[in-house]
Amino acid sequence: MNESELINILDSIVRNSAPLIIAVTGETITERSGVVNLSLDGTMLMAAMLGFVVGLESGNVWLGFLAGATIGAFFAFIIAFGSIRLRQNQVAIGFVLALLGNDLSAFLGQNYTRIPGPVVQHFGIPILKDIPIIGPILFDQDLVVYFAFVLVFISWWYLNRTQQGLHLRGAGERPEAAFARGVHVNRVRYLYTIIGGALVGIAGASYSLDIKIGWSEGHTEGLGWIALAIVIFGGWSPIGGALGALLFGATKALVTVLQRTFPEVPVVTFNALPWVLMIAVLLLAGSNALERLVRIMPESIQPSLRRLLRVQPPLALGTTFDEE
Amino acid sequence: MNRIRALSWPQILQWLWPFVPAIAALLFTSVLLLIFDTTPAVAFEAIFDGALGDAAKRLSVMAFWVPLLLSSTGLIITFRAGLWNIGVEGQIILGAIAASWVALKLDAPGPLLIGVELILAMSAGALWAALVAVLKTRGRVHEIFGGLALNFLAIILTNYLISGPWQPPEGGTFRGTAPFQDKALLPLFENSRFSPLSLVLAFAALALVIIALRGTFWGLKLKALGKNTYSAYLLGVSSEREIILAMMFCGALAGLGGAVRTLSWFDSLRQSISGGIGFLALLVVMLANYNIYAVPVIALFFAAVRVGSIPLQLRTQLHSSLGGILTGVMVLFVLLFGDARKLGIGRGRPAEEKGAPEVSGSGLDPFSKEIVKGD
């Protein structure tokens, strides 16, 4: 394997991971505020379908993304409203929405399957894209990919370095304490559930308009569940989540290479890999292996490393809070 | 006069409330149909006719009902223990695979062969479920994710078997194995896909679960576990043991459902052997508000809608996912607005819990809160 081939592979890993990174970041924000949006699989299917249809009919990809974000925000709103205002079970609502999104997208998109549509244009960043090795991998992509990476760093900064981020985390960790400090816990939860949902919608639209262009029934099926697992693997941190998504993308790229090298192995064996990986990754997140890894590192970087690899779920995740 | 006045508006509303989600779901689907230039009445009539139009169709509904009922009955047990057994879909598939293995590879007199098929199917479903349970208790992998991953793996395993080792001799169509020997199939009612024996088994399972939940200490332990893991621990309930047992129980019933699918609905192992029955069963139990007595009726209704939607594409050129939308929206509306008292409609405080498992309690926390272990 020569250098340009390796760069090609890395380039495709970065490109193909972008939507997953956006979805994982969105869900991470939602869960850090204490709400679980389990509808990701259905939301992404709906957004992929609607994004494609709107993009095709209007001839403008960005309107497609807007449509995806809107439906994502709407699904998230149903979950927030159901769990906060109506005090019903958010896991049940999310699960039903995941199934419903699947059926609904198949029905609404039935006349739009397998036809060409608009695509996001390639956009290399001048000067930066000419840096050897890094340039073609990171700066010779399109706006969706740049958005994914900028989003990860902005979310990390927002969560950990701003007053609003502190309120967000407070709502997810210790809602009573946050409320006593004047944080409107439920308002905060509404806000970040909806923002997170909109991001998941953008991720869904990124598939049909950029990475896996077009629409077909069950276009992104399974990816929403993988995104939910990566949130856990990433330890509820945007950076950890992005690394998890990249790792997932790298494994898929590795599978493609292996498939070419060992054509005698049945394809289904490789199809099983993402799911085996999902279980392995969750086992790793649930074990003490990461904590042990932190302990053998130099003491000075231990606290920041632990923050980066944080594997404790937000304490109040999935609970309701009475503002009385 | 007095009697009429006694029925105040809030009371009437409260009484009518259960019908509102059903009507809302019908309205929602009607709007969808209008978007697609179809008269709702025509589509609903097509579904109704497709399900109940003649005796053959009604028998098809019955045949679809049995595995759905078996899976829903099993899910009552896991929900009672506070577990989200989304892996039920994979457990159905593993049951179908095990039954197919017997049907393809073994030779014995008919009744014996069928007995072995059913027992192995139940064992395979139970083992697949046990895997999810052990991943949860030992690996701290939440059952939703363990179950989902195993669902996808079960589908991949089916595809592998169909396109590989169990490929029919005339070449792989990638759709299914060769039809099984006749004596390996469940005896069918007349010319239908419905096996009376399977219905007997489903009712036996239903009775067993009712007795287990009402009259046994095990049922009580499951309830304690579902309501509050910590107090169950204080009561001396081994959460690990009960979680594994509850999952295996459900897996066994789901596996039996898978065997019924492959040995009566089909006559071979197919790519879509479950066809989403496991997910549908989860919706059935949610709509039943985790009440076992409501499960058979709701499962029958769902089976009718699903079977009725199959000819939809032929008659109205519409995608058959319409049936899934109708049932899904109905469950969503019930989940959101089903409890009138929580909305402040009608008199009285919100109902605390009416015997239904505490679904938002600690046992059903979405992400693995550590299970209290004895040390």
Q: How far is CA A152 from the centre of its chain?
A: 10
- Helix ranges (DSSP H) in chain B: 2-6, 9-16, 19-35, 40-52, 55-80, 88-105, 110-137, 143-163, 196-215, 217-227, 229-234, 239-260, 277-287, 295-309, 312-316, 322-337
> Which chain A residues have a beta carbon less than 8 Å from that of B360?
88-91, 318-320
Out of B146, B283, B350, name the one closest to residue A279 (CB): B146
What pLDDT does residue B374 have?
33
Q: How far apart are CA B164 and CA A135, in angstroms?
A: 44
To the nearest 10 degrees (0 to 180), the angle between helices B40-52 and B322-337 is 100
- Measure the CA–CA gap between A48 and A39, rounded to whole angstroms: 14
Q: Token pair of A287, please?
A: 């074990």
- Residue entry with tokens 């509303």: B13
A230 within 8 A of A20, measured Cβ to Cβ: yes
**Dihedral of the alpha carbons of B347, B353, B355, B361, in degrees to the nearest 10:** 160
Cα B336 to Cα A35, A58, A78, A82, A85: the distances in Å are: 16, 34, 9, 6, 10
Residues A310 and A285: their CA atoms lie apart, in Å, by 9
Interface of B with A in 134-193 (CB under 8 A): 135, 139-142, 144-146, 148-150, 152-153, 156-157, 159-160, 163-164
Residue B109 confidence (pLDDT)? 92
Question: In the structure, what pLDDT confidence band is assigned to residue A1 with cuts at 50, 70 and 90?
Answer: low
Query: In 3D, which of A64, A28, A30, A25 has the Cα closest to residue A48?
Result: A64
pLDDT reported for residue B340: 60
In this complex, which of A36, A87, A275 lies closest to B152 when CB atoms are compared? A275
Q: Do B160 and A88 touch (CB under 8 A)?
A: no
Give the mean pLDDT of A293-307: 78
pLDDT of res. A41: 97
Nearest to B97 by CA among B258, B293, B247: B258
- Chain B residues near residue A313 by CB distance under 8 angstroms: 367-369
Nearest to B254 by CA among B62, B77, B59, B60: B77
Please indicate if any CB of chain A lies within 8 Å of the CB of B366. yes
> For residue A274, which residues of chain B lie inside 8 Å, CB to CB?
152
Nearest residue, CB atoms, A93 vs list B84, B86, B336:
B336
Shortest CA distance from B341: residue in chain A: A86
Choose the closest CB to A91 out of B140, B337, B364: B364
pLDDT per residue over A202-234, tens digit each? 999 999 999 999 999 999 999 999 999 999 988
Q: Across the interface, do A276 and B149 touch by the CB < 8 Å criterion?
A: yes
Interface test with B, best of A50, A90, A107 (most B CBs within 10 A): A107
Residuewise pLDDT in 10s, chain B (375 residues): 455 556 677 777 777 777 888 888 999 999 999 999 889 999 999 999 999 999 999 999 999 999 999 999 999 999 999 999 999 999 999 999 999 999 999 999 989 999 999 999 999 999 999 999 999 999 989 999 999 999 999 999 999 998 888 988 776 556 889 899 999 999 999 889 999 999 999 999 999 999 999 989 899 888 888 887 777 777 777 788 999 999 999 999 999 999 999 999 999 999 889 888 999 999 999 999 899 999 999 999 999 999 999 888 788 888 889 999 999 999 999 999 877 656 655 444 444 433 334 333 333 343 333 333 333
The A residues from 122 to 181 touching B (CB cutoff 8 Å) are none
Give residue-wise pLDDT tens across range A113-148. Answer: 989 989 999 898 988 888 888 888 889 899 999 999
Which positions in chain A touch B321 (Cβ < 8 Å)? 102-104, 106-107
Q: Chain A: residue nearest B31 by CA?
A: A108
Place of tokens 């008269």: B39
Q: Please judge whether B145 and A225 are an interchain contact, meaning their C-beta atoms are less than 8 angstroms apart.
A: yes
Question: Are residues B86 and A87, on separate chains, in Cβ contact within 8 Å?
Answer: no
Question: Does the distance separating the beta carbons of B282 and A232 come in below 8 Å?
Answer: no
Contact B325 A82 (CB under 8 A): no
Site of tokens 């304690």: B224
Q: Give the three-state DSSP class for A311.
A: coil
Q: Which residue in A has a C-alpha nearest to residue B320's C-alpha?
A: A107
Q: How many CB pairs under 8 A join A and B?
A: 147
Residue contact A283–B325, C-beta within 8 A: no
Please give the single-letter amino acid code of residue A244. Answer: G
A317 to B366: CB separation less than 8 angstroms, yes or no: yes
Contacts of B292 (CB under 8 A, 6+ apart): B73, B76, B206, B209, B210, B213
- The SS3 call for residue A25 is helix
**CB distance from B337 to chain A under 8 Å?**
yes
Residue partners of B324: CB distance under 8 A and separation at least 6: A99, A100, A102, A103, B276, B306, B309
Are A272 and B90 a contacting pair, CB within 8 Å?
Answer: no
A chain contacts of residue B40, beta-carbon cutoff 8 Å: none
Give the pLDDT band (50/70/90) at residue A284. Answer: confident
Are A86 and B337 a contacting pair at CB < 8 A? yes
φ and ψ of B84, to 5 deg? -95, 85
A114: left (phi over 0), alpha (psi -120 to 50) or beta: left
- A92, A228, A286 member nearest B286 (Cβ): A92
Whole-angstrom distance, CA of residue A305 vs CA of residue B286: 42
What gap in Å lies between CA B360 and CA A319, rounded to an integer?
Answer: 7
User: Out of B139, B150, B283, whose CB is closest to A96?
Assistant: B283
Nearest alpha-carbon partner for A75 in A166, A196, A187 = A196
Nearest chain B residue to A313 by CA distance is: B367
Asked if the Cβ–Cβ distance from B135 to A279 is below 8 Å, we say yes
Cβ of A60 under 8 Å from any chain B Cβ?
A: no
In A, minimum Cα distance to B324 occurs at A103
Instruction: Report the residue from A88, A272, A320 with minimal CB separation from B153.
Output: A272
Question: Which residues neighbour A300 within 8 Å (Cβ) at sequence distance 6 or greater?
Answer: none
User: How close is the nearest chain A Cα to the Cα of B112, in Å?
Assistant: 34
Q: Among all chains, which residue has been given the structure tokens 């969808």?
A: B32
Measured distance CA(B129)–CA(B122) in Å, rounded: 11
- In whole angstroms, give the CA distance from residue B308 to residue B304: 6
Q: How many CA atoms does the CB half-sphere of B325 hold within 13 Å?
A: 25
pLDDT of residue B290: 92
Q: Which of A96, A102, A274 sits opposite B332 (nearest CB)?
A: A96
Cα separation of A172 and A96, whole Å? Answer: 23
Residue of A nearest to B336 (CA): A82
Is residue A106's pLDDT more than 50? Answer: yes
Sign of the four-CA dihedral A170, A171, A173, A176: positive
Residues 268-297 of A with CB under 8 A from B: 268-269, 271-272, 274-276, 278-279, 282-283, 286-287
| DSSP 8-state code for residue A139 | I
Q: Determine the longest span between alpha carbons in chain B, in angstroms.
A: 79
Distance CA B159, CA B172 (A): 11
Which carries the bigger pLDDT value, residue A42 or residue A9?
A42
Give the dihedral sign, CA A45/A236/A144/A191: positive
Tell which residue, A178, A173, A203, A162, has the closest CA to residue A76.
Answer: A203
Find the range with the poorest average confidence among A25-34, A229-238, A306-315, B138-147. Answer: A306-315
Q: What is the ipTM of this complex?
A: 0.90
Which has the closest alpha carbon to A27: A305, A257, A222, A236? A236
Chain-chain contact of B325 with A104 (C-beta, under 8 angstroms): yes
Binned at pLDDT 50, 70 and 90, residue A265 comes out as confident
For chain A, what are the domain ranges? 3-220
Enumerate residues 6+ apart whose C-beta is below 8 A from B305.
Answer: B47, B51, B323, B326, B327
Q: Do B359 and A275 lie within an 8 Å CB cutoff?
A: no
At residue A182 the predicted structure's pLDDT band, cuts being 50, 70 and 90, is: very high
Question: Any chain A CB within 8 A of the CB of B318?
Answer: yes
A255 touches chain B (CB under 8 A): no
Cβ pair A86:B364 closer than 8 A: no
Give me the DSSP letters along B214-277: HH-HHHHHHHHHHH-HHHHHHTT--HHHHHHHHHHHHHHHHHHHHHHIIIII-SS-BTTSSTTH
Domain architecture of chain B: domains with CATH: 20-364 (1.10.3470)
CB spacing of A268 vs B335 below 8 angstroms = no
How far apart CA A6 and CA A160 sit, in angstroms, is: 35
By the 8 A CB rule, do A33 and A171 touch?
Answer: yes
d(CA B31, CA B39): 10
C-beta separation of B90 from B128 below 8 A: yes
* CA distance linking residue B355 with residue B336, whole number of Å: 19
